[in-house]
Every structure is written in structure tokens, then in C-alpha cells.
Amino acid sequence: MIPDEGQAIALHRKYGSSERIVNHCRTVAHGSKILSSALAARGKGVDPAAILAGALLHDIGRTMTQGVDHGYVGAGLLEKEGVDNVVVEIVRRHVGAGISPEEAASLGFPKGDYIPRTLEQKVVCFSDKMVSADMIRPFEEEVRRFERKGHDVGRLRQLKKDIQDELGEDPEKILLPDV
Ligand SMILES: [Fe+2]
């Protein structure tokens, strides 16, 4: 099943997510919805229900771990709950700007690809990168955070470009029209 908003929040309650996590997820869902509608308006085939559920549930694994493993931990938890695989994969692939199979192996993750590949996966991953706590803020702030942490900035910029190519305009301008 693809949880609706009420069911997604009920899952957060069941697993004991903090208000901070729930509010963060709601903000990422807000941004994801805007991008999902913009893509649909341009005739792009996206699954808005999967995007909404994936965005609302992307950090549910933080109830178990604060590490980079919270993506696949959350995905496993949702799988166990009978959540549709399309949502599970959004959650599994949202960490950073994605984690390659090689990086995953060196981190000791279960074998696999953790890079967002579908438009639904990319929209939620990008929206998450645009949100700090419960606020949408400029993309360059996330670039600086990636730089500080030694993450792959090229991959982050590519994620934004992939969405821009589908939208025909800058997704940041849609999320932050006044910046
Ligand atoms: Fe996360």
C-alpha cells in the first residue's frame, strides 16, 4: 500500500518519531508536492501519491539510527509494514545525493545501489537537500554543507540538474521564488 498523509503520520507515531523529525518530513513533503505538481503540469509522468508518502516517511529510520544507515533501516521498517516498494525505494535512496554500490559496500550496507534513479526518488532526495530542519533554504547552503562534510558536491549538483532538465526550469526557483 501507499500510505496517505494520515497513515504516514500514524507510522511515525507507531515508531516514536520526534516532533522535529515529523515537522522536517512535512516540510520535505511540502517541497516535494510543489515539484511534483510542476512536473505533472509539464506532462511528466510522476506518481504524486508515492512522492508524498516517500517524502513524509523518508526519515522514519531516524527512530532507530542517526547514521547514514537511516535510509535503508527506514526502508526495511516500511517493507515490514507492507508499504509499496516504490515508496520503500524512495526512502532507501534519499541519503546524501545518493550512495553508490561501491560506497555502500565500504560503509558495510547491504549490497545494492542507493542512488536515486527515478524522478520520484530524485524529487524527494532533492527536496530533502533543500530543507534544513523545517525550513526550505537556498541550494548553495546545502552545497556548503556538503563541502564541509567532504560529500560529493558534483553528485548533488547533478541531482538538481536532472530535475531541472525534466522541469525545463530551475527547481530552486520554484521552491524559493523570492531568492
Ligand atoms: Fe534522511
Q: How far is the CA of 62 from the centre of ligand 1 (A)?
A: 7
CA separation for the pair 145, 62 (Å, rounded): 20
Residue 174 covered by a domain? no
The per-residue pLDDT for 83 is 98
Q: Which domain holds residue 94?
A: 5-168
CA separation for the pair 106, 100 (Å, rounded): 10
Hey, how many other C-beta atoms are within 10 angstroms of the C-beta on 55?
Answer: 32
Q: How far is the CA of 125 from the centre of ligand 1 (A)?
A: 9
What's the total number of domains in the chain? 1
Q: How far is the CA of 71 from the centre of ligand 1 (A)?
A: 6
Q: How far is the CA of 162 from the centre of ligand 1 (A)?
A: 20
Residue 173 covered by a domain? no
Residue 156 covered by a domain? yes
The per-residue pLDDT for 142 is 98
Q: How far is the CA of 17 from the centre of ligand 1 (A)?
A: 13
Below-50 pLDDT ranges, the chain? none
Residue 136 covered by a domain? yes
Q: How far is the CA of 61 from the centre of ligand 1 (A)?
A: 8
The per-residue pLDDT for 178 is 84
Q: How far is the CA of 46 from the centre of ligand 1 (A)?
A: 22
What digits encode the pLDDT tens for the residues 40-67? 999 999 999 999 999 999 999 999 999 9
Residue 178 covered by a domain? no
The per-residue pLDDT for 179 is 74
Q: How far is the CA of 149 from the centre of ligand 1 (A)?
A: 15
Residue 175 covered by a domain? no
Residue 176 covered by a domain? no
CA distances from 5 to 33, 60, 71, 140 (A): 12, 14, 20, 30
The per-residue pLDDT for 2 is 98
CA separation for the pair 179, 174 (Å, rounded): 10
Q: What is the CATH number of the domain that holds 55?
A: 1.10.3210
Q: How far is the CA of 64 from the centre of ligand 1 (A)?
A: 12
Residue 155 covered by a domain? yes
Q: How far is the CA of 109 from the centre of ligand 1 (A)?
A: 15
Burial of residue 13 (number of CB atoms within 10 Å: 0-12, 13-18, 19+): exposed
